[in-house]
């Protein structure tokens, strides 16, 4: 008796599944590439020398640039990182390395809640806490952004450290290395790629935030004038410029969008090159 | 010759479960002592009690004495970190430190305890790797990742790492269970070589391995030390019926 | 790379070589005693007892090696053969003692007819050379040397039967001489047999083949 030709049937099924998977992938990539295409196509005409060296033009003025917004964004993100990264890093270490501690379950729970809070609410919180006492300022914006950052950093650091097997820690402890040194020099070092990736993701996330920036810093058309004053911001520029009726500003909005994407990409690449190890 | 480690009335718990019951044993200097017994008999816990690794687990508890060169390592004011420097450990799975070169792996214990002098670190790397018969295989690749080595080489690297901090005792927890027979044979030869200058305690689930490498053998069963004596006697003429049953495979 | 079992095997070999030399010495002085006037009985007895103790040690050590290292192939053949060879060496000592017993307690052959003395002398030389060869082939692991022993063994067998035939024909031999000479010749023949056994063991160790050389 001849066996039915299951092989051919299986082959067809395999091909169909393969095709489906690829179609899904293509479907997911379409929006990504169309956004990129749109931003690049519309943003490039805005890019020229003035764009990088001149501040926001006055209404009706020709030309101008977003140099003040690039400056302001870098300063704000920088300050937010200085607050957010250490706190997030240490909470992550605490949750991963001292998970037997009673507090860790509670901290993990609230951290998860925090990461789910809409960013505008965090902005309003910063407004109530800081803006009302010292006014719209870089400090207030950086504070709000750092609070958005902390749960992301905490979670990714915790996950990254947990990927280092327990017996690596035991090996270090058995060598007579104190526990905190084990965590810093062995565990954190072993997980540094994943840790840095998590931090980069959080930076990219806050670089694109506009709502909390709006309520803590407002729109600022001039150069950076001190941490207790507002500063210009790329994400906010996009929002304000795009809503405006002025053609010049709309062009600048597209340019800002392109620069924001490139900025995030640039930070990513730069840090990756910096931490690129041999292993 | 005085014993290197003297265990007196050692009990150990995980939570409320007692895993070691009243262990008394004297471990001889410059000899290999093998700990054998079925899974869950407490042999690994026993090993980890010898350098205070047991207490790393949050709900672990120990009572009794372990005298190391006459000093009770569970005495008041004894720093477990100091004890672990003197009583090193090698684990079941080779566990070189991730993202670290072979060189850095060997000197990790020293560097993290503040040794910075490049010359003396170089000397330690060479001496330790030669001791574990790995130097000739890796001397040109010291900057490569420790994880790039084969399983057997990784385990020898881990032994070198443990030896670099100059311990007096080496505890080995099933060091060959993840290795192929050739790598296992190399580690066994190495154990015999190291026994000339170090006191070695090895836990193994492989009775033949215990027979091959050890001078003394202890048989554990359900948290108790059933029989302890020279390996030749344990394997040729065990005194206890349980030992006989276990080593002849008539268990259960 | 040397293995853990190697040091045990080396120790076993060393003990066995020492036994070989001691056994050779007993056979040598026992044969000399047949024709020269000297008394080596006590010396042979002492060495022979030592050989028995050493054979016990070899057996013990061999068991330990088997129990601890699970030897296979040539290692296993070596250990098994070493136990047999140790026994053969014990027999050398024991037969040497028996020869000495005949010499000292039964009167020996020194005062017997010329033909008996010369027969014993010839056979003694041949047997001694067999013992030497068997020990040498053990040390050198040389199966060809071992096969040479087989040839001499055949000659010794022939000498043994020739001697018995001749003794039966002669009517002038005294009972005393007949008893001593028959016993001595018989013991020498047994020593030759054991030399052959040693050589069989060596061929087994080196080639894995079981041969019968007798």
Cα A66 to Cα A236: distance, rounded to the nearest angstrom: 11
Pick from A172, A178, A279: CB nearest B99:
A279
CB–CB of A173 and B113 under 8 A?
no
Mean pLDDT of C186-198: 95
Distance from the Cα of B237 to chain A's closest Cα (Å) equals 36
Name the minimum distance, in Å, from the CA of A158 to any CA of chain B. 17
Q: Which residue of A has its CA nearest to B155?
A: A171
CA distance C46 to chain B (A): 30
Q: What percent of chain C has pLDDT above 70?
A: 99
Provide the domain limits for residue A235: 69-240
Instruction: Measure the CA–CA gap between B30 and B216, rounded to whole angstroms.
Output: 11
Query: Residue ranges per domain, chain C?
Result: 4-207
φ, ψ (nearest 5 deg) of residue B65: -120, 145
Chain B, window 105-164: residues with a beta carbon less than 8 angstroms from a chain C beta carbon? none
Closest residue to C4, CB basis, from B213, B235, B236: B213
- Judging contacts by C-beta atoms under 8 Å, the chain B residues touching residue C2 are 189
- Report phi then psi at B27, rounded to 5: -100, 125
Q: What is the pLDDT of residue C196?
A: 94
CB contact under 8 A, B143 and A278: yes
Q: What is the pLDDT of residues A204-260, one digit of tens each?
A: 889 888 899 999 988 888 888 888 888 888 888 888 888 888 888 888 888 889 988
CATH topology (fold) of B5-95+169-248: Rossmann fold (3.40.50)
Q: Contacts of residue B101 in chain A, CB cutoff 8 Å?
A: 278-279
Residue A54 lies in a domain: no
CB interface of B with C, residues 209-238, below 8 Å: 211-213, 231-232, 235-236
CB contact under 8 A, B236 and C2: no
* Residues of B in Cβ contact (< 8 Å) with C4: 188-189, 192, 212-213
Output the CA–CA distances (angstroms, integers) from residue A8 to A3, A4, A22, A26, A273, in the order listed: 12, 9, 21, 27, 48
Summarised one tens digit per residue, pLDDT across range C65-89 is: 998 888 988 999 999 999 999 999 9
Task: Give the Cα separation of C196 and C38 in Å (integer).
Answer: 29
Q: What's the gap in Å between the CA of B129 and the closest CA on chain A? A: 16
pLDDT of A50 reads: 81
* Range list of H helices, B36-150: 43-49, 80-86, 102-111, 118-131, 135-138
Q: Strands (DSSP E) along chain A, which ranges?
A: none
Average pLDDT over residues A94-102: 87
Q: Is the CB of A167 less than 8 angstroms away from the CB of B112?
A: no
Q: Is residue A58 part of a domain?
A: no
Distance CA A201, CA A188 (A): 18
Smallest CA–CA distance, residue A182 to chain B, in Å, is: 8
Neighbours of chain B (3+ CB pairs under 8 A): A, C
A6 within some domain: no
Of residues C1 and C149, more confidently modeled: C149
| Portion 57-96 of B in contact with A at CB < 8 A | 58, 81-86, 88-89, 91-93, 95
Contact A173 B161 (CB under 8 A): no
Report CB contact under 8 Å: B231, C68.
yes
Residue C163's pLDDT band (cuts 50, 70, 90) = very high
Q: What is the model's pLDDT at position A278? A: 47
Q: How many domains does chain A have?
A: 1
A118 within some domain: yes
Chains C and A touch, contact meaning at least 3 pairs of CB atoms under 8 angstroms apart: no
Interface contact B89, partner C, CB < 8 A: no
Cα–Cα distance for residue pair C87/A268, rounded to 1 Å: 81
Tens of pLDDT, residues C3-20: 888 989 999 999 999 999
Q: Which CATH architecture has domain C4-207?
A: Up-down Bundle (1.20)
In tens, the pLDDT along A40-93 reads 998 888 888 888 888 887 777 777 788 888 899 999 999 999 999 999 999 999
Closest C-chain CA to B185: C3
Residue C1 pLDDT exceeds 70: no
Chains touching chain C at 3 or more Cβ pairs under 8 angstroms?
B
Query: Considering the entire predicted model, what is its pTM?
Result: 0.78
Average of per-residue pLDDT values in chain A: 88
Cβ pair A235, A207 in contact under 8 A:
yes
Count of A-B CB contacts under 8 Å: 89
The CATH number assigned to the domain holding A219 equals 1.10.3720.10
Q: Does B189 touch chain C (CB under 8 A)?
A: yes
- The residues of chain B scoring below 70 in pLDDT are 1, 252
* ipTM associated with this complex: 0.88
Domain assignment of residue A80, yes or no? yes
Best interface-test mutation with B: which of C5, C64, C65 has the largest number of B CBs within 10 A?
A: C64
Q: What are phi and psi of C181, to 5 degrees?
A: -65, -40
C72 at interface of B, judged by CB pairs closer than 8 A: no
B98/A100 CB distance under 8 A: no
Query: Is residue A279 pLDDT above 70, yes or no?
Result: no
Residue A120 has pLDDT above 70, yes or no: yes
Q: Among candidates B99, B157, B150, which has minimal Cα distance to A164?
A: B99
Question: If we measure between CA atoms, which residue out of A124, A85, A276 comes closest to residue A211?
Answer: A124
Residue C125 touches chain B, beta carbons under 8 Å: no
Whether chain C has a CB inside 8 Å of the CB on B63: the answer is no
Closest to A155 (Cα-Cα) out of A190, A197, A111, A119: A111
Residue C61: closest C-alpha in chain B: B232
Q: Which of A160, A139, A156 is nearest to A204 (CA)?
A: A156
Q: Answer yes or no: are the C-beta atoms of B81 and A155 closer than 8 Å.
A: no
DSSP A184: I
- Calculate mean pLDDT across residues A118-132: 92
Is C4's CB within 8 Å of B189's CB? yes
C63 interfacial to chain B (CB closer than 8 Å): yes
The chain A residue lying nearest B92, using CA atoms, is A167
Q: Single out the residue of A261, A262, A260, A236 nearest to residue A249, CA to CA.
A: A236
């Amino acid at each position: 008796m001849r066996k039915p030709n299951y092989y051919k049937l299986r082959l067809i099924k395999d091909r169909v599944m393969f095709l489906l998977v690829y179609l899904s992938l293509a479907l997911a990539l379409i929006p990504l590439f169309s956004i990129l295409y749109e931003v690049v196509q519309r943003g490039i005409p805005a890019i020229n020398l003035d764009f990088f060296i001149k501040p926001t033009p006055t209404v009706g003025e020709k030309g101008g640039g977003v140099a003040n917004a690039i400056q302001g964004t870098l300063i704000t993100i920088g300050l937010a990182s200085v607050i957010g990264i250490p706190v997030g890093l240490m909470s992550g270490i605490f949750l991963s390395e001292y998970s037997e501690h009673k507090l860790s379950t509670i901290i993990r729970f609230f951290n998860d809640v925090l990461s789910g809070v809409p960013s505008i609410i965090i902005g309003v919180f910063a407004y109530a806490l800081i803006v009302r006492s010292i006014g719209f300022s870089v400090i207030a914006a950086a504070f709000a952004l750092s609070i958005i950052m902390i749960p992301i950093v905490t979670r990714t650091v915790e996950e990254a450290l947990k990927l280092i097997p327990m017996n690596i820690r035991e090996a270090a402890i058995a060598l007579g290395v104190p526990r905190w040194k084990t965590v810093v020099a062995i565990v954190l070092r072993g997980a540094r790629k994943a840790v840095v990736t998590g931090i980069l993701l959080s930076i990219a996330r806050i670089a694109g935030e506009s709502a909390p920036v709006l309520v803590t810093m407002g729109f600022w058309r001039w150069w950076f004038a001190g941490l207790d004053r507002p500063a210009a911001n790329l994400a906010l520029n996009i929002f304000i410029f795009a809503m405006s009726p002025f053609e010049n500003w709309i062009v600048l909005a597209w340019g800002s969008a392109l620069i924001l994407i490139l900025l995030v990409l640039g930070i990513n690449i730069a840090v990756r090159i910096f931490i690129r190890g041999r292993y | 010759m005085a014993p290197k480690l003297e265990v007196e009335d050692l009990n150990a718990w995980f939570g409320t479960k007692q895993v070691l019951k009243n262990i008394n044993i004297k471990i001889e200097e410059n000899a290999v002592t093998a700990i054998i017994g079925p899974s869950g008999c407490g042999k690994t816990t026993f090993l980890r009690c010898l350098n205070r690794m047991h207490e790393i687990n949050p709900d672990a508890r120990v009572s009794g004495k372990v005298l190391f060169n006459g000093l009770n390592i569970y005495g008041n004011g004894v720093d477990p970190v100091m004890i672990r420097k003197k009583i090193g450990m090698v684990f079941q799975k080779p566990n070189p430190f991730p993202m670290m070169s072979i060189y850095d792996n060997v000197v990790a214990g020293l560097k993290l305890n503040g040794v910075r002098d490049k010359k003396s670190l170089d000397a330690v790397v060479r001496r330790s790797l030669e001791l574990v018969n790995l130097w000739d295989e890796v001397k040109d690749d010291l900057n490569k990742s420790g994880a790039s080595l084969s399983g057997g080489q990784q385990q020898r690297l881990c032994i070198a790492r443990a030896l670099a901090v100059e311990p007096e005792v080496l505890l080995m927890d099933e060091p060959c269970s993840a290795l192929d027979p050739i790598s296992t044979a190399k580690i066994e030869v190495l154990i015999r070589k190291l026994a000339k200058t170090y006191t070695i305690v090895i836990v193994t689930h492989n009775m033949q391995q215990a027979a091959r490498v050890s001078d003394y053998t202890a048989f554990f069963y359900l948290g108790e030390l059933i029989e302890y004596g020279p390996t030749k006697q344990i394997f040729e003429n065990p005194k206890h019926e349980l030992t006989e049953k276990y080593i002849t495979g008539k268990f259960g | 790379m040397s293995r853990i079992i190697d040091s045990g095997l080396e120790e076993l070999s060393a003990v066995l070589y020492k036994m070989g030399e001691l056994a050779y010495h007993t056979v040598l002085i026992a044969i000399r005693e047949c024709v020269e006037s000297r008394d080596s009985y006590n010396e042979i007895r002492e060495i022979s007892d030592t050989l028995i103790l050493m054979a016990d040690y070899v057996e013990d050590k061999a068991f330990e090696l088997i129990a601890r290292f699970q030897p296979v192939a040539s290692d296993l053949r070596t250990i098994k053969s070493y136990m047999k060879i140790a026994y053969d060496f014990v027999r050398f000592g024991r037969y040497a003692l028996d020869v000495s017993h005949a010499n000292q307690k039964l009167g020996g052959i020194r005062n017997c007819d010329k033909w008996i003395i010369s027969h014993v002398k010839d056979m003694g030389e041949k047997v001694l050379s067999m013992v030497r060869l068997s020990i040498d082939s053990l040390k050198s692991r040389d199966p060809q040397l071992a096969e040479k022993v087989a040839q001499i063994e055949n000659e010794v067998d022939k000498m043994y039967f020739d001697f018995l035939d001749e003794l039966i024909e002669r009517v002038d031999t005294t009972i005393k001489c007949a008893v001593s000479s028959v016993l001595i010749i018989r013991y020498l023949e047994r020593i030759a047999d054991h030399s052959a056994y040693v050589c069989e063991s060596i061929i087994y160790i080196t080639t894995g083949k079981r041969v019968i050389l007798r």
